[in-house]
Structure 1
């Protein structure tokens, strides 16, 4: 229990390990080892707490209630989690476009801010689209494991038949309506990052651990976040927590015309009908 409480204090305060160790009467080295052990134990709960539900009908309805976006089962985005410099030859791999050392973490969330998929192994210099291209969730979407459903993402992703992005230069009323619904639906993932970084301040500061230990800590945060949702934690319902918005996102290169047509058909067939 003391080890768990020490780790929770580190998560909640983002203090230096020396400070956290002093709180429970252990050395910095012991505190580091305890945080590693407990984080790995919590992260191993990932299959139980971070997963897509077998029946996604309820998720689709919850997203539809937000902005009337059809067949939507998730919102995807990445956020940078700052770390100390790893040092050595690999350090520059972790330097992101804002010149900070970080991990670039990808999540897919539902309408209730619950994390259904997380990828927390890529250095900060890696583009969001590259992470998605190499993720298991992409293959599951391609294979239609979730049926004829889609997820939404920002302009940092390529528009495809299963991942829909905003129209860059909307002209028609239907395109404007589509963009509004897409952005409102996508906002849940930005709110999720806002809640995560409010609950675990170390995510907004810097994780002062060896780079090899950071991944399990990030996954542990996601597990605890989902447990908090299951327990209906009050933090989720506070309106004063700002979303974590990437103000310097990179635009992905568009894919072929067929992928664009999937989005166009949705706009011309469905969103046009909402205007009548």
Structure 2
């Protein structure tokens, strides 16, 4: 995740967004129940932050499938970077499964806000959905973590390491302009599980978003 102002400015000229996916694994021998996700299969819940080039700036592969997205986010190093203002400018885009924060904007229905957050890829939702496409491309390139191709038959710890490894290879493919897989079909993310909306306490992020809507859009 970039923290220097020059690197951040380059990323912001595109955008960056946060979302997650699930990597299917075999039933672990220990604490099996905490790996069962909302679709009732065993998985690792993998959140990630990507940029407009589909490149992962941060990916976390260590949480069981039953863990809520908002909990993972609140315990991530990226969240800490924003909280302690190491990254002090700009916003992340996320869906309703994440808490709105002064630096994390989640979807709202106001038409002016939706139209004004076009950036380079359409509305807020279409912009944020690029992170889902990033995961789709990742899984199209590395079918071992694609739920349509089966299950990772390793320990949970090894599965976590495999996910991180293929994310690194994915970024290298982008850096070296490797062609996308031929059977694209717009790269659906077969492991994406839409989580429930965040229902935690309101915070100053809601006020920041309201000021942004009223003052700029």
TM-score in terms of structure 1 length: 0.69
Q: CA deviation at 1:237?
A: 10
**Contact 2:3–2:87 under 8 Å retained in 1:** no
Match of 2:27 in 1: 85
Q: Which blocks of at least 5 consecutive residues in structure 1 are unaligned? A: 1-50, 64-73, 272-276
Aligned partner of 1:229 in structure 2 is 174
Cα separation, partners in 2 of 1:119 and 1:257, compared to 1, 3 Å: closer
Secondary structure of residue in 1 paired with 2:61: strand
Per the TM alignment, residue 210 of structure 1 is displaced from its structure 2 partner at its CA by 1.6
Q: TM-score, normalised by structure 2?
A: 0.87
Determine if the alignment matches structure 1 residue 251 to structure 2 residue 197: yes
Instruction: Answer 1 or 2: which has greater helix percent.
Output: 1
Residues 189-223 of structure 1, C-alpha deviations (whole Å, 9 max, x = no match): 11101101100111112111122211111110111
1:217-251 superposed Cα distances (whole Å, 9 cap, x missing partner): 11101110011011011118997333427454211
User: 1:21-100 counterparts in 2 under 5 A?
Assistant: 51-52=1-2, 54=4, 55-63=7-15, 74-88=16-30, 90-100=31-41
Q: Which runs of 4+ in 1 moved over 4 A?
A: 236-239
Distance in 1 between residues matched to 2:81 and 2:19, nearest whole Å? 17
* Alpha-carbon distance, 1:258 to partner: 2.8
The answer to whether the aligner puts 1:114 opposite 2:55 as a matched pair is yes
State the aligned residue count.
207
For the residues of structure 2 that align with 1:238 and 1:265, how far apart are their CA atoms?
44
Kept in 2: contact 1:159–1:254 (CA 8 A):
no
**CA distance in structure 1 between the aligned counterparts of 2:123 and 2:181, rounded to whole angstroms:** 22
1:120 match: secondary structure: coil
Tell me what 2:162 maps to: 217
Structure 1 pair 193–144 and aligned structure 2 pair: CA distance change class (3 A): same
**Runs of 5+ consecutive residues of structure 2 not aligned to the other structure:** none
Within 5 A, what are the aligned runs for 1:112-191?
112-167=53-108, 170=109, 172-177=110-115, 181-191=123-133
In 1, Cα distance between the equivalents of 2:61 and 2:129? 21
**Relative to 1, partners in 2 of residues 1:236 and 1:202: Cα closer, same or farther, differing over 3 Å?**
closer
**How far does the alpha carbon of each residue in 1:71-125 deviate from its partner, in whole angstroms, 9 at most, with x for none?**
xxx211110100000024x000100011100000011111111111111000000
Given candidates 194, 197, 206, the residue that maps to 2:151 is 206
The answer to whether the 8 A contact 1:75-1:189 is kept is yes
Distance in structure 2 (CA, Å) of the matches to 1:157 and 1:237? 33
For residue 241 of structure 1, what is the aligned residue in structure 2?
Answer: 186
Larger radius of gyration: 1
> 1:199–1:122: structure 2 CA closer, same or farther, 3 Å change rule?
same
CA distance in 1, matches of 2:52, 2:27: 35
